[in-house]
Amino acid sequence: MQRLGTVSRTAQNLLVVRCDDADHPAIGAEAVDESLTTVGRVVDVFGPVSRPYVAVSPSGDVPAASVVGTRLYAR
């Protein structure tokens, strides 16, 4: 499991996650929280190469606003 980063905000029903470093997961990777509950899937990587942002499409049962500030991991 790889540390993804912290959800900084939501935009157009996507979770915007700031990566901890330059190492980011592949598009399509599953995003989970600390309790290994699936939060969504990585759909885009953007921003600076040194510390990019990752867009995560939330799962159907996850309210996007409730996970702002949460640390996510890629599985």
Report the CATH number that the domain containing residue 45 is assigned in CATH.
2.40.10.230
Q: Determine the pLDDT at residue 5.
A: 93
Residue 9 lies in a domain: yes
Per-residue pLDDT of the chain (75 residues; tens, 9 = 90+): 889 999 999 999 899 999 988 888 899 999 999 999 999 999 999 999 989 999 999 988 888 888 999 999 998
Which tokens belong to 8? 């900084």
Would residue 12 count as lying in a domain? yes
| Per-residue confidence (pLDDT) for residue 63, from 0 to 100 | 84
The angle at the Cα of 33, spanning 29 to 31, to the nearest 5 degrees, equals 10
Q: In the chain, how many domains are there?
A: 1
